[in-house]
Amino acid sequence: MSPLSPTSRSRYSHAYAILAITTATCSRTQAFTTPNNILRHQHRQQQFQVKSSVLPIPTLTREDLGRIQPELNEDDLYIDLQNNNSNKKNNLSNNNDGKDGKKKIYNKVPKIGEIRRMLPKNSFNIDTKLSLFYFGLDFLAVATSMTFLHSVVTSKFYLALPIFAQALTVAPLQLLTGFAMWCMWCIGHDAGHSTVSSSKRINRIVGEFAHSMICLTPFVPWAKSHRQHHLHHNHITKDYSHQWFIREESDDLHPVIKASYWTRNIQLPILYMVYLLAGVPDGGHVIFYGRMWEKSKMKEKLNAYFSVLVSVATSAVLWTKLGFANFTVVCMVPWLVMSFWLFMVTYLQHHSDDGKIYTDDTFTFEKAAFETVDRNYGKWINRMSHHMMDGHVVHHLLFEKVPHYRLEDATVALVKGMKEREQLDLYKSVETKHFTQEIVKQFNNNWFFINEKQVVRK
């Protein structure tokens, strides 16, 4: 494994970056506190800076923190108190604070607040105009490629060809259109994490267009299940989107699960469709049932059904206008290409030879986040995919705070910070230039199995 080494300069050479990017410094939340009687006497109005993954933080109570971002607790905050090194000592293997010239030795996974301190301040700057610029470019890419594909499919030249020749003629265009849809899916993914804009309305509109309409993925149901995945990443039972089966217990699996394993190699293009429609393993995203809807109220379901309606209406209109054959060739085959990209990227981000899975007794948010994997698919694929692959670790650590166009610089800073702590071994990065071969090999060899030794138990 080798850490990524992109530079901030390279990001601005992105083919899309034809506009200037304006950044602003993050707001910093400050709280007034008096930690002890001595400080109260000497610094009656002393300010103590509080940094965490959630801004602003009105108080430091468990109740308030849980309401803002329930997957974290007060131990995840990094409170930099003047004349007080107690927070640092908790993360050192001894009580040395570095004043005696000895190097600090960290023996614990850094908390979210500590990770925030490693990153540039503008990593958390959500620029609505820049986000919409990327959305517009991807929309143009999808519209252009799909329109050209449709013009070829309806041309006299194409219609005169035999079926086999027709398939060969449009295959490159279908791959191109499917990749453009994948890039658009990544924009909808940001909207689902509220990182397109600080406006909920703008995030919702972009999400409905990018996911519900263009990618035929009901936005609100997807966002609901996907957030649960982020809250419980690499948890053996609570993780969403990813099933984990212990290899040594494979004989005890249900016959349907065993059948799925034996037919795994022909399922790759349709697994995302199975996920949305059949609700495996989270619950239905079109018809609502399963664990993701168990505690949902009718108001929430009605809100989610709007996204379903948008997807169904879009499909119906396209089917009616194009006819079944052209709808299949122009829309659904590229959709399968998009879904292959989605499954490939997602699977490889969460599977590695030394990856660990946690139980209720051993799970912590930060430890599990560092079990996800950054993968380098090549400079231009990484950029056109909005750093979905090579910025994944930062994304899992701060999934509602860092937009896609900040991930590259944030990842460089994370690697630097972990290296300074001599904890770079916690960070996983894999060169994956031959990604199609890698997904076929990994899925064939491992499927959703993990070995018992990979499960961290108490």
Give the Cα separation of 277 and 91 in Å (integer). 45
Residue 95's Cβ-count burial label (10 Å; 0-12, 13-18, 19+) is exposed
Report how far apart, in Å, the C-alpha atoms of 18 and of each of 11, 134, 381 are.
12, 11, 18
Which residues, including other chains, have CB under 8 Å from residue 298's CB and lie 6 or more apart?
A: none
Q: What are the CA-CA distances from residue 452 to residues 241, 355, 357, 446 (Å)?
A: 20, 12, 9, 13
Model pLDDT, residue 102:
56
Name the pTM for this structure: 0.80
One-letter amino acid of 364: T
* Side chain identity at residue 400, one-letter code: E
Q: Which of 454, 427, 426, 442 is nearest to 107 (CA)?
A: 426
Per-residue pLDDT, 103? 61
Alpha-carbon distance of 21 to 426, in angstroms, equals 32
Residue 373 DSSP code:
-
Q: Residue 27 CB: number of other CB atoms within 10 A?
A: 11
Half-sphere exposure of 376 (CA within 13 A, CB side): 14
Rounded to whole angstroms, the Cα distance separating 224 from 288 reads: 12
Calculate the dihedral angle through the C-alpha atoms of 68, 73, 78, 81, rounding to the nearest 10 degrees: 100
Count other Cβ atoms within 10 Å, centred on residue 254. 8
Q: What is the token pair recorded at 265?
A: 């190699």
pLDDT for the residue numbered 100: 53
What pLDDT score was predicted for residue 242? Answer: 81
Output DSSP code: residue 285. S
Cβ atoms of 109 and 421 closer than 8 Å? no
Per-residue DSSP letters for 305-344? HHHHHHHHHHHHHHHHHH-HHHHIIIIIHHHHHHHHHHHH
What pLDDT tens digit does each residue of the chain (458 aa) get?
444 444 444 443 443 333 333 333 333 333 333 334 433 334 333 333 333 333 333 333 445 444 444 445 544 443 333 333 444 444 444 444 444 555 666 779 999 999 999 999 999 999 999 999 999 999 999 999 999 999 999 999 999 999 999 999 999 999 999 999 999 999 999 999 999 999 999 999 999 999 999 999 999 999 999 999 999 999 999 999 888 999 999 999 999 999 999 999 999 889 999 999 998 889 999 999 999 999 999 999 999 999 999 999 999 999 999 999 999 999 999 999 999 999 999 999 999 989 999 999 999 999 999 999 999 999 999 999 999 999 999 999 999 999 999 999 999 999 999 999 999 999 999 999 999 999 999 999 999 999 999 999 99
